[in-house]
Amino acid sequence: MSSVVNDGFPLLTATAVLPALGAIATAAVPAAKRAAAKWTALFFSLGTLVLAGVVLARFDPGGDRYQLAESRAWIADFGVRYELGVDGIGAALIGLTALLMPFIILAAWRDADPAAEENGDRPGRRWRPVQGFFALMLMVEAMVIISFAATDVFLFYIFFEAMLIPMYFLIGGFGDRAHAQSDEEAAKQRTYAAVKFLLYNLAGGLIMLAAVVGLYAVTADQLGEGTFSLQRITEARASGELTMATTTERLLFLGFFFAFAVKAPLWPLHTWLPNAMGESTAPVAVLITAVMDKVGTFAMLRFCLGLFPEASEWATPVVLVLALVSIVYGALLAVGQRDIKRLIAYASVSHFGFIILGIFAMTSQGQSGATLYMVFHGISTAVLMLVAGFLISRRGSRLIADFGGVQKVAPVLAGTFLIGGLATLSLPGLAPFVSEFLVLVGTFSRYPVIGIIATIGIVLAAIYVLVLYQRTMTGPVGKGVLKMPDLRLRELAVVTPLIALLIFLGVFPKPLTDIVNPAVEHTMSDVRKTDPEPDVDIPSPDVEAAK
């Protein structure tokens, strides 16, 4: 459970602060210098990617649980410290966040322009400040990174909530252009989606705040002084120095879990996601589901299981059922969608169900698979949603029925869309297959009935992905598709590296599993769980020889 405080360069702080500084620098660029603002944002996102690469390079899978640790006094009177540290799960998700951001910025290059500047794109209907758009994106990145690194519960809570502010403005102020209705009606839909996003997540955060205060009161009563330190609390729980009454622990667990389930999003708290993704630009939709939402599932592993192991075991049957409903319900709604972006949103609800299923299966395979799923879902959803965004911007519509025959006029666009779709349905050879397989194996080994039912999600994923491709890319060329241009150089630069990564990690996931597996072992130790023994009796060599 130990960690060594880093007395040298504060690498984790630098990794989180750099995009925040980038946000300030981008916002400060003069209004007329839109191109300079874009390049500034891209420069800082690439710098953050370099620092995240250093974090991964310096992380030793065989070392202490929390590494690159930083600890400084902050609000000493209330036991709040500025404490950072990463295990393998946090390091992998920081890497994912930093990896995706440059591609998100490149994909959003024209999204806030006063008018489209590339042939084939639909002109913008209103001016939107470029500087603010990219500054808000970088601010979300900074807050997400520090959330993955925080080992002080109160510090985590602050940024868990604070990231809602820039995301609210990204949804409500920089919405999707592909609306057939009036500007006023489009603005109403964006505002509705942004307010719904904010209210759902604020409600979860307020309940979590009550649980955070309750946790402090418990530590103050039993340890002599209140603390929010994750490591101090988990060590005290493991040694028996800190015990919680059953009812108290369950109530605190529910307070934390509710907030994380909203962010994740888990059925039935998911309804804000289709609205938010549908009304956002495609890059912002990727920022929501591939980056920000991962904080919810990550926090289930780090805080729910780490702080409340007995309550986590108590809640497991209900959580598994909710995850199973998310898998099937999200996939069924994706099958019936007519809107491309809402289809991808409901597919993500289904995928988050798989992640939560793996976490609460309480097996090493399930939790390793869940962590890999967070990373691989982020990459595959980025490919599919960003290519969908390129497609929608050309046609000016999100409706599936408005397309058809795209592969005949834009074969590269159709091909990248197909690869993103195949990754979404977890085709063997692509990275998401590895994680989904581990989740199902880990679940089946302890809960075989739930594992079998969860496979329905795989079948439904094949239906909604292949039907989407068939209706948009094959058949007669639609009237609005005749002059559709293929992917341009900037767009190819966005999707090509991500597709290459999906293929590489699908064939050789070992670099990531080596980082993740030791952290999963620590989590399994927190909840005092071991993998179930095989039910099949294996005869000993002596018995075989006697035969």
* Residue 540: inside a domain: no
- Which residue spans within 13-136 are E strands per DSSP? 66-75, 80-86
What does the DSSP 8-state code read for residue 532? Answer: P
Cβ within 8 Å of residue 346, ≥6 positions away: 274, 330, 331, 333, 334, 337
Q: Is 128 helix (H, G, I), strand (E, B) or coil?
A: coil
Q: Please tell me the predicted confidence (pLDDT) of residue 378.
A: 93
* Residue 542: inside a domain: no
pLDDT band at residue 490 under the 50/70/90 scheme: very high
Read off the pLDDT of residues 198-235 as tens digits, 9 standing for 90 and up. Answer: 999 999 999 999 999 999 999 888 887 888 888 888 88
Q: Is 115 helix (H, G, I), strand (E, B) or coil?
A: coil
Q: Which domain holds residue 306?
A: 3-533
Q: To the nearest whole number, what is the mean pLDDT of the chain?
A: 88
- d(C-alpha 70, C-alpha 499), whole Å: 35
Read off the pLDDT of residues 50-101 as tens digits, 9 standing for 90 and up. Answer: 999 999 999 999 888 899 889 888 887 787 889 999 999 999 999 999 999 9
Our CA angle for 139, 145, 149, nearest 5°, is: 145
pLDDT band at residue 387 under the 50/70/90 scheme: very high
* Residue 543: inside a domain: no
pLDDT band at residue 14 under the 50/70/90 scheme: very high
- d(C-alpha 80, C-alpha 74), whole Å: 6
Check: CB of residue 165 under 8 Å from CB of residue 205: no
* Residue 544: inside a domain: no
- What's the structural domain count of the chain? 1
Please state, in angstroms and as integers, the Cα–Cα distance from residue 354 to each residue in 304, 432, 521, following that order: 17, 11, 20
Q: Please tell me the predicted confidence (pLDDT) of residue 411.
A: 93
* Residue 262: inside a domain: yes
pLDDT band at residue 254 under the 50/70/90 scheme: very high
Q: Please tell me the predicted confidence (pLDDT) of residue 65.
A: 87
pLDDT band at residue 288 under the 50/70/90 scheme: very high
Please state, in angstroms and as integers, the Cα–Cα distance from residue 471 to each residue in 285, 399, 404, 479, following that order: 22, 11, 6, 14
- d(C-alpha 335, C-alpha 461), whole Å: 8
DSSP 263-305: HTT-TTS-THHHHHHHHB-HHHHHIIIIIITHHHHHHIIIIIH
* Residue 273: inside a domain: yes
Read off the pLDDT of residues 39-51 as tens digits, 9 standing for 90 and up. Answer: 999 999 999 999 9
* Residue 325: inside a domain: yes
pLDDT band at residue 116 under the 50/70/90 scheme: very low
Tokens of 464: 């909604």
Cβ within 8 Å of residue 7, ≥6 positions away: none
Q: Please tell me the predicted confidence (pLDDT) of residue 418.
A: 94
Please state, in angstroms and as integers, the Cα–Cα distance from residue 117 to each residue in 123, 177, 179, 510, following that order: 8, 14, 19, 43
pLDDT band at residue 245 under the 50/70/90 scheme: confident
Read off the pLDDT of residues 261-286 as tens digits, 9 standing for 90 and up. Answer: 999 889 998 899 998 998 889 999 99
Check: CB of residue 279 under 8 Å from CB of residue 345: no
Q: Which helix (H) or strand (E) holds 94?
A: helix 88-107
Task: Select the more confidently predicted residue: 21 or 476.
Answer: 21
Average pLDDT over residues 454-469: 92
* Residue 155: inside a domain: yes
Least confident of 84-88, 116-120, 379-383, 421-425: 116-120
Q: Which helix (H) or strand (E) holds 5?
A: strand 3-5
Give just the sign of the alpha carbon dihedral 24, 29, 34, 37.
negative
